[in-house]
Amino acid sequence: MTEEFTKRKLKIKNLRKVWHREVDKIFDKADDVINSLQDISKDSLSRHQSQIKAKITEMEQTVKEQKQILKSNKVSEIDSFVSKLRDYKEIPKGLEEEILVPPLITNTNKNGELQMEIETFRATLSHGSLLSSLSDAPLTLPEDSSSKSKVVATISSYHNSLWRMTCVDSDEVWISGVNELIRLVDLQGTVKDTVVITDDDCPNDIAVSRQRELMYSGGTSRTVNVVRQGKVKTLITTPQGWRPGGLCCGRSGDILLNLGNGKRNKIFRYEGRKVTQTIDKDEDGKNIFQQGGYDLFITENNNEDICVSDLNADTVVVLDMTGRIRFQYDGTPARKTESFLPRCIGADFLGQIIVADCNNDCLHILNQDGIFLRCVDNIGISIPIGLGVDSEGRLWVGSSETGEIKVIQSLK
């Protein structure tokens, strides 16, 4: 008991740091906004001050000229004199429109939402969550568990045999195949960047770090690498006899990595180069993952559950952050004609788990507690293997057979 509570306390301590960093980002952004507005107002004041100084200099010159006229005996100078007093009565106008000190609107109701708004920047911290409110709602499914989904784009991956995908922001995706090239493609199908793998025949898996850097695992080199400023750098070298497979960058910046030796599979959590967690046994000391030579596919859900597609068992295994099994899914509720053959796995912003089923050319959608919601089988993808969810909530699905990618607007 003491050991388990110590684990919880450590996790809470780490979460405190993560949450503090997120709050710091909000207030750093607010500082940037108000500093920018201050700079704009300061520039306006400086211009206004320069105008007034120029006016004062002009006035002093006018007074000097008028004193000379007073002393003059020339009638023509006196006769042609025109007063400029009216010109100098008004201070240069327009400053009120240029100087903006924006109001800071806040709401610190501790029983509700914490809000802050300044100019066009708004931030909200909520005590509740969408996920928790959804989980409390009763689950109702239509009689037909298939769901229509809108395909908003169809693009080429430039790979005859597509293998892996990982999204970058809203409209770009890194794609790899069974060769040494990893390509960055946008929503229009334009190749924006290409990385050539020199230490492996092809990457086993690819992912994007919190800093939006491309990462890939290589089986031949036994390494996890990052592409940083156009150069490939090694982050992790796995132990002799263990090759890296499935790869995922967690919400906290940790790396979740599948290692296999041809018979057994484990999941390691790395903080930098340091292993902080190993997952392979359940509470009874039994192997969590089926023995076999296939790699595991990994993703992390919003609640930090570790979602694993075990190809050797044709089963999805979902573990909590400590490595304990929460539930398993074998495809039975979907009632498909062919056997369940899970490959890539992903999670969307609602915490829904998305599993590519190669045998039935469809996607299985589960909620975060493992309840089957629906199948998506109307998108025209054969042998779906690549999955990615972008920042707009759209799902990118790739075909291993054709290399074609479909971008789906909604899985609701």
Q: Residue 342 is encoded by which pair of tokens?
A: 């899970």
Maximal CA-CA distance, the chain: 116
pTM of the model: 0.64
Question: How does pLDDT run across 328-378, given as a tens digit for each residue?
Answer: 999 999 989 899 999 999 998 888 999 999 999 999 999 999 999 999 887
Q: Confidence band (pLDDT; 50, 70, 90) for 108?
A: low
Q: What is the 3-state secondary structure (H, E, C) of the chain?
A: CHHHHHHHHHHHHHHHHHHHHHHHHHHHHHHHHHHHHHHHHHHHHHHHHHHHHHHHHHHHHHHHHHHHHHHCCCHHHHHCCCCCHHHHCCCCCCHHHHCCCCCEEEEECCCCCEEEEECCEEEEECCCCHHHHHHHCCCCCCCCCECCCCEEEEEECCCCCEEEEEEECCCEEEEEECCCEEEEEECCCCEEEEEECCCCCCCCEEEECCCCCEEEEECCCCEEEEEECCEEEEEEECCCCCEEEEEEECCCCCEEEEEECCCCEEEEEEECCEEEEEECECCCCCECCCCCCCCEEEEECCCCCEEEEECCCCEEEEECCCCCEEEEECCHHHCCCCCCCEEEEEECCCCCEEEEECCCCEEEEECCCCCEEEEECCCCCCCEEEEEECCCCCEEEEECCCCEEEEECCCC
Residue 65, both tokens? 């000229």
pLDDT of residue 309: 96
**What tokens were used for 155?**
């693009």
Q: How far is CA 7 from CA 12, 84, 232, 283, in A?
A: 9, 82, 35, 15
Rounded Cα–Cα distance for residues 244 and 222 (Å): 6
Confidence check: pLDDT of 120 > 80:
no
In this prediction, what percent of the chain has a pLDDT beyond 70?
90
Whole-angstrom Cα distance, residue 237 to residue 196? 19
- Report the pLDDT averaged over residues 300-317: 94
CA distance 186 to 167: 10
Q: Are 257 and 205 in contact (CB under 8 A)?
A: no
Question: Over the stretch 29-81, which tens digit does the pLDDT of each residue have?
Answer: 888 888 877 877 887 788 888 888 888 888 899 898 888 888 888 888 888 88
Residue 169: exposure state from Cβ atoms within 10 A (0-12, 13-18, ≥19): exposed
pLDDT at position 306: 96
Average pLDDT, the chain: 84
Candidates 379, 377, 348; CA nearest to 364 is 377
First and final C-alpha spacing in the chain: 41
- In a 10 Å sphere around its CB, with 0-12 CB exposed, 13-18 middle and 19+ buried, how is residue 33 labelled? middle
Give me the pLDDT at residue 133, please. Answer: 36
Distant-in-sequence, close-in-space partners of 312: CB < 8 Å, separation ≥ 6: 265, 289, 290, 291, 292, 293, 294
For residue 217, count CB atoms less than 10 angstroms from its CB and return exposed for 0-12, middle for 13-18, buried for 19 or more. buried
pLDDT given at position 92: 65
Q: How confident is the model at residue 97 (pLDDT cuts 50, 70, 90)?
A: low
Question: Given a cut of 70, is residue 94 above it in pLDDT?
Answer: no
Q: How far apart are CA 220 and CA 322, in angstroms?
A: 30
Strands of 162-168's sheet in order across = 162-168, 172-177, 181-186, 191-196
**Alpha carbon distances (Å) from 44 to 38, 40, 118, 186:** 10, 6, 20, 41
Report the alpha-carbon distance of residue 108 to residue 117 in Å, rounded. 12
